[in-house]
């Protein structure tokens, strides 16, 4: 018990001071939690305090964020060729950076990260493993991680997952994400190893095979599922085609991310697969910072690991409460070591929440709206800005249940010219569909429909990254 207390103190000290965190110490803390769970059935409030602790207090949070920003910037000025050059050119003084003046530092954009990749790798780290973005919104970006990061991130995820009952030794997680997402797959495998849970890494194989995997195994069938909303849609469609329901599966939670999850699809997945859907946020470029959606639909980021700003899409200035902007993220050192970014413009559009205190279950942690769109997917109709989420919510709520939503939308003469699939138009007249959009505040003109063999040319989704198998060829 004394040794466990020492490990907790060491971990908390590293969080507050920003010193490198020993992955092995965090792994031992995972072992401590497992022992506590086995003996008492609950981790205890003192252990969970390590995750949120002083960060829930606004005054303490501000002080810790300022120190974390300055610490991260000082390191980048020493060991990052790109940021050393940028800070010198912009006369940025790391010691004077605060959350109030950080918007004066230029943002880092994806194109720069791609074109000057080697200049983002720090000189005091050793690249060990590379991971890539999926490329569904442009050319894939390659990110290098160090051995330290590859060990620390899973240990941190395992610790928080155990404390929040997101994973336990009795779980089996099925992973249906792209095999190119090596960091995410490697982290999940390592988390399961540390926790003692089982893992099925399937990738984006034909949905029928993934449904079969969810069904089989008896008491060892998957209890957790990790995938994308568009692939989840295909799993739901396949399960319904086979007249399967909640009693056929052992799932207790479904984690999705990387795309817009509609309310209609979330409800359908829970009704069909029997588990609630957790809409999470993560991005390869800003790992290990991630976000959780609360019971009121806000997105709350992990304040321990980075700073999240919402800035105006045109001016780059902080947006006012209630306004939309692009999310800019700065992961902190020592969580990000090998290829860190500073003020990375994710181009994910969110709405800043109103200024009044939050009353949700994560109200102690500042949040934003859920992801609304990518910046280049916004439609401008005069003073009205239409987001991708608004379109997806209406389309996936149509009686035809066209999941995942396939469409093409363009702003023209103050309205939206919309192309849907033939499948989406089933069970509804064009006039009825246009009325649904008007009721949602969206002026839409339906154009031609796309035949089945052209559906994937409308809106690319991550489920399109299908990895074929010999079993699929026999169908």
DSSP string, 276-325: -EEE-EE-GGGTT-EEEE-TTSEEEE-TTTEEEEEE-TTT-SBPPTT-EE
Q: Is residue 207 part of a domain?
A: yes
**Residues 413, 268 share a domain:** no
- Cα dihedral 24, 29, 30, 34 sign: positive
Q: What does the pLDDT profile of the chain (475 residues) look like in tens digits?
A: 445 555 665 666 566 667 889 999 999 999 999 998 887 776 655 554 555 555 567 788 888 899 999 999 999 999 999 999 999 999 999 999 999 999 999 999 999 999 999 999 999 999 999 888 766 666 788 999 999 999 999 999 999 999 999 999 999 999 999 988 888 899 999 999 999 999 999 999 999 999 999 998 888 899 999 999 999 999 999 999 999 999 999 999 999 999 999 999 999 999 999 999 999 999 989 999 999 999 999 999 988 889 999 999 999 999 999 999 999 999 999 999 999 999 999 999 999 999 888 999 888 888 999 999 999 999 999 999 999 999 999 999 999 999 999 999 999 999 999 999 988 999 889 999 999 999 999 999 998 787 766 777 788 899 998 887 666 555 5
Given 374, 392, 426, the domain boundary residue is: 374
Helix axes 147-163, 182-195, angle to 10 degrees: 50
In a domain, 317, yes or no: yes
Q: Are 130 and 142 in contact (CB under 8 A)?
A: yes
Please give the Cα distance from 164 to 51 (Å, whole number). 10
Name 422's Cβ contacts closer than 8 Å, sequence gap at least 6: 449, 450, 451, 452
Cα separation values, 159 from 8, 155, 168, Å: 12, 6, 10
Last residue of a domain, one of 374, 392, 408: 374
Distance, first Cα to last Cα, the chain: 57
Residue 62 lies in a domain: no
CATH value at residue 229: 3.40.50.12780
Q: Do the strands 306-311 and 324-331 form a parallel or antiparallel pair, or are they unpaired?
A: antiparallel
Say yes or no: 391 and 364 in one domain.
no
* Per-residue three-class SS string for 377-391: HCEEECCEEECHHHH
So what's the pLDDT on residue 46? 55
Residue 369 sits in the same domain as residue 396: no
Q: What phi and psi values does residue 145 have, to the nearest 5 degrees? A: -120, 150
The beta strand positions in 93-236, using DSSP E, are 127-132, 142-146, 172-176, 198-201, 224-227
Cα–Cα dist 76/460, whole Å: 36
Question: Do 332 and 434 fall within a single domain?
Answer: no
Calpha distance 61→55 (Å, rounded): 5
| 282 in any annotated domain | yes
Sign of CA dihedral 182, 188, 193, 199: negative
Same-domain pairing of 358 and 386: no
Boundary of a domain, candidates 374, 405, 426: 374
pLDDT number for residue 310: 97
CA dist 313 to 298, 318, 350, 374, Å?
21, 10, 11, 11
Contact 4, 123 (CB under 8 A): no
pLDDT of res. 303: 83
d(CA 428, CA 248): 32
Whether 152 and 286 map to the same domain: the answer is yes
- Which residues span the domain enclosing 148? 104-374
371: nearest Cα among 306, 303, 325, 311? 325
Q: Let me know whether 298 and 429 are in one domain.
A: no
Q: How far apart are CA 364 and CA 386, in angstroms?
A: 30
- CATH number of the domain residue 385 falls in: 3.30.300.30
229 and 275 belong to one structural domain: yes
Please check whether residues 422 and 369 belong to one and the same domain: no
Contact assessment for residue 11 and residue 29, using Cβ atoms and an 8 Å cutoff = yes
CA 352, 256, 142, 335 torsion-angle sign: positive
67 part of a folded domain: no
Residue 314 forms part of a structural domain: yes
Residue 77 within a domain: no
Residues 251 and 317 in one domain: yes
Same domain, 380 and 353: no
Residues 348 and 282 in one domain: yes
pLDDT for position 19: 82
**Residue 2, pLDDT score:** 45
SS3 percent helix, strand, coil of the chain, rounded to 5, is 40, 20, 40
**CA distances (Å), origin 294, targets 230, 298, 467:** 21, 6, 33
Closest CA to 112 of 310, 345, 338: 345
pLDDT computed for residue 16 by the predictor: 63
Distance of CA 26 to the CA centre of its chain: 23
Task: Give residue 136's pLDDT.
Answer: 62
Number of domains in the chain: 2
User: Is 119 among the domain residues?
Assistant: yes
Give the 3-state DSSP-derived string for 73-84, with helices as H, strands as E and coil as C: HHHHHHHCHHHH
Helix (H) or strand (E) holding 344: strand 344-351
Residue 241's nearest CA partner among 216, 211, 282, 217 is: 211
């Amino acid at each position: 018990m004394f040794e466990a207390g020492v490990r907790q103190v060491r971990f908390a000290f590293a969080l507050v001071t920003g010193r490198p965190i020993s992955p092995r110490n965090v792994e031992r803390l995972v072992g401590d939690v497992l022992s506590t769970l086995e003996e008492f059935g609950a981790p205890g409030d003192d252990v969970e305090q390590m995750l949120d602790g002083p960060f829930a207090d606004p005054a303490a949070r501000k002080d810790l964020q300022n120190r974390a920003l300055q610490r991260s910037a000082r390191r980048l000025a020493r060991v990052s060729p790109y940021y050393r050059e940028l800070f010198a050119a912009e006369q940025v003084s790391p010691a004077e950076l605060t959350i109030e003046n950080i918007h004066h530092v230029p943002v880092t954009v994806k194109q720069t990260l791609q074109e000057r990749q080697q200049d983002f790798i720090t000189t005091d780290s050793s690249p060990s493993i590379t991971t890539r973005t999926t490329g569904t919104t442009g050319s894939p970006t390659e990110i290098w991680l160090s051995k330290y990061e590859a060990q620390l991130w899973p240990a941190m995820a395992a610790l928080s997952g155990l404390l929040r009952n997101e994973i336990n030794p009795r779980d089996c997680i099925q992973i249906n994400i792209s095999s190119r997402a090596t960091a995410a797959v490697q982290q999940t495998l390592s988390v399961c190893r540390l926790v003692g849970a089982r893992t099925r890494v399937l990738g984006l194989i034909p949905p029928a095979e993934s449904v079969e995997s969810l069904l089989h195994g008896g008491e060892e069938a998957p209890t957790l599922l990790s995938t994308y909303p568009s692939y989840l849609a295909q799993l739901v469609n396949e399960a319904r085609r086979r007249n399967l329901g909640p009693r056929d599966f052992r799932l207790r939670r479904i984690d999705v991310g990387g795309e817009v999850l509609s309310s209609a699809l979330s409800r359908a997945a829970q009704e069909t697969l029997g588990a609630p859907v957790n809409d999470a946020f993560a991005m390869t470029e800003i790992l290990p910072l991630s976000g959780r959606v609360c019971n009121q639909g806000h997105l709350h980021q992990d304040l321990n690991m980075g700073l999240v700003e919402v800035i105006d899409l045109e001016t780059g200035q902080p947006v006012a409460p209630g306004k939309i902007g692009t999310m800019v993220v700065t992961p902190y050192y020592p969580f990000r070591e090998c290829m860190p970014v500073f003020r990375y413009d994710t181009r994910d559009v969110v709405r800043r929440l109103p200024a009044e205190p939050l009353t949700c279950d994560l109200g102690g942690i500042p949040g934003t709206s859920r992801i609304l769109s990518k910046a280049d997917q916004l439609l401008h109709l005069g003073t009205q800005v239409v987001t991708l989420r608004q379109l997806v919510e209406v389309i996936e709520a149509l009686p035809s249940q066209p999941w995942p939503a396939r469409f093409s939308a363009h702003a023209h003469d103050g309205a939206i010219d919309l192309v849907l699939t033939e499948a989406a138009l089933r069970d509804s007249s064009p006039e009825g569909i246009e009325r649904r959009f008007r009721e949602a505040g969206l002026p839409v003109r339906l154009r031609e429909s796309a035949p089945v063999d052209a559906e994937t040319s409308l809106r690319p989704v991550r489920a399109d990254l299908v990895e074929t198998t010999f079993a699929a060829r026999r169908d």
